[in-house]
Amino acid sequence: MNKKIFIYTALIVLGAALGVGGYYFYAGEASLQGTSSTKSETNKKSETAKKRKVLFWRAPMNPNEIHDAPGKSSMGMELIPVYASGSGAAGVVSVSPVMQQDMNVKIATVKAGELNADVLTNGILVPDEQNEYVATTKIGGWIDKMYINYTGQKVHKGDKLIKIYSPELVAAQEEYLTALAYDNAMKTSGARSNLTKNAIRKLQLLDVTNAEIQHLKETKQVRKYIILTAPFDGTVLYKGVEEGAKINRGTPLLKIANLRNLWVLADIYEYELFKIGLGDPVRVSFDYLPGKSYTGKVSFIYPTLDTKTRTIKVRIDLPNLNGELKPGMFASVDIKGKSFGVYPLVPEQAILRSGLVNTVIVALGGGKFKPVQIELGAYSKGYYQVLSGLKAGKRIVTSAQFLIDSESNLNAALSGFIPSKTNKNAKNKEANAKKEKKDMKGMDMTKKPADKKAGANNSKKSELIRKGSR
C-alpha cells in the first residue's frame, strides 16, 4: 500500500515538473521570437531613416532658424530634421491633401488643340478715298453761281457744280485770239505759230478743254466764266464757299465722294497683328441694324503703328449699294485669322513668368508637384501655345502655383547649403591640425627627457609643496 502511494506521488511530482519545464521552454521561445521581430522592425526603420536624406535641421518653435547639423535651438529645444522628398528628384514638393484644400490648389489636364485666331475689335466707316473728288481751281476770281445748294446733295457725272468769274481767264482767252490774229496777218509759220502754241498751252493749264478752245477759235467770243462739273456720281460731303465769295488759286470749294463702296478702318492691337493677313474673311455688324451683318475681306494693312494706342489700322472693303451704311458709323468687326497648327495649350493663369523663364507646376500624383520650364508660342483668348517642355495629357496646377513654386525653390536653395561629410571631415582635420600646431609652439624639443628618479623626486617635491601650501 505504501509502495503504491509512493509511486503515485512520484508520478504526480514528475508530471508537474515536466509541465512547468515545458511552460518555461515555450514562453522563452516566444519571447525570443518577439525580441527578434522587434529588432528586425527597428533595424528596418533605422535603414529607412538612413536612406532618407536630411536636407537641414529646423527649430520646432521658429521655422526660420535653420542648422546644418543636429543640436539644440536657441530656445534649448532639440532640432527637428527635415528630409528630402521620397522621389529624390530635385525641386519636387510634397503637399498633403489637407494643405492642398487650404491652399485652394486646382489642377487641370493639358489638352492639344488649335489656338483661337479670331480677332474681335471695333472700326469706323469712312468713304473710299479712291472715289473722292475735291473741286478747286487754278485761277482766282469770284463765285458767280452755285449749283450745289447743301451738303449731302446727290450729283451725277457731268452735272454743273460752280460758275466762276475770272479776269485772269478772260486775259488768257484774249491773248489766244491776239496770237491767232497775228498768225493770219503774217501769213507765215515760224514765230507766229509759236505764239499760238504758247497761248493754247496757257489755256490748257487753266483747265480749259480743247473743245472750248476750238469753240473760242471759231466764234471769237471770250467767255467771262468757267464752269466746274462733276467727274462721277456721288454725294457732296463738303461745301466751302457761297455765291459772291472771292476765291484764290487752290481754294477747296467742294468735296464729292462715291458712297457705293465704303471702308471700315479697324484698330488691331500690336500683339494680335500676327494673326491677320491680307484676304482674311471679316464679318461686320452695326448697332443700328441689329441682327444684320456684312461680309468682307481685309484689303490693306497700314504700315505704321499709332504710338499712343499701340494699334495698327487694317482696312476692310464693304459694298453699300442700297445706301444703308453711312460714313462715321461705329462697327463691330470679327476677323477670322489664320490657323497656327495643333499644340498643347495651357491657360494664362497657370504660367509663372519671371523674365525670360516661363514655368508651370506639374502634378506628379500622390501629393507631389514639380516645376517645369516651358517655351511659349502664340497667345489668344487666355491660352498660350506650348512649343516645348510640356506634352498634352500632363496635369498642371492652375491655382496656388506661386506657393508651391516658392516652396520648391526654398528646398532647392537650402539643399545647396548642406555641406557633405567629406567637407566636414576635412574641416575637422584642419582645425585639429591648427590646434596641435598651436600647442607645440611652447615646447622645447632640444631637452632630453628626465629619468624616472628625477620624475619621482619632482613629484614628491610638488606633493610636499601642495601639503605645505595647505
Going by C-alpha positions, the residue among 264, 256, 253 that lies closest to residue 295 is 264
Q: Which fold has domain 93-113+342-416?
A: 2.40.420
Q: What is the pLDDT of residue 308?
A: 93
CA–CA dist 420, 422 (Å, integer): 6
Cβ 360 vs Cβ 349: under 8 Å: no
pTM of the model: 0.58
CA–CA dist 212, 172 (Å, integer): 13
Residues (pLDDT < 50) of the chain are 32, 34, 38-39, 42, 45, 86-88, 414-427, 429, 445-470
Q: What is the DSSP string of 174-228?
A: HHHHHHHHHHHHH--STHHHHHHHHHHHHHHHTT--HHHHHHHHHH----SEEEE
Specify burial of residue 226 (Cβ count, 10 A radius: 0-12, 13-18, 19+). Answer: buried
For the stretch 98-106, contacts whose Cβ atoms lie closer than 8 Å and that sit 24 or more positions apart, written own/partner, are: 100/367, 103/400, 103/403, 103/404, 104/399, 104/400, 105/397, 105/399, 105/400, 105/404, 106/397, 106/398, 106/399, 106/400
Q: What is the pLDDT of residue 124?
A: 95
Superfamily of domain 119-128+259-336: Efflux pump adaptor protein, beta barrel domain (2.40.30.170)
Q: What is the DSSP letter of 79?
A: P
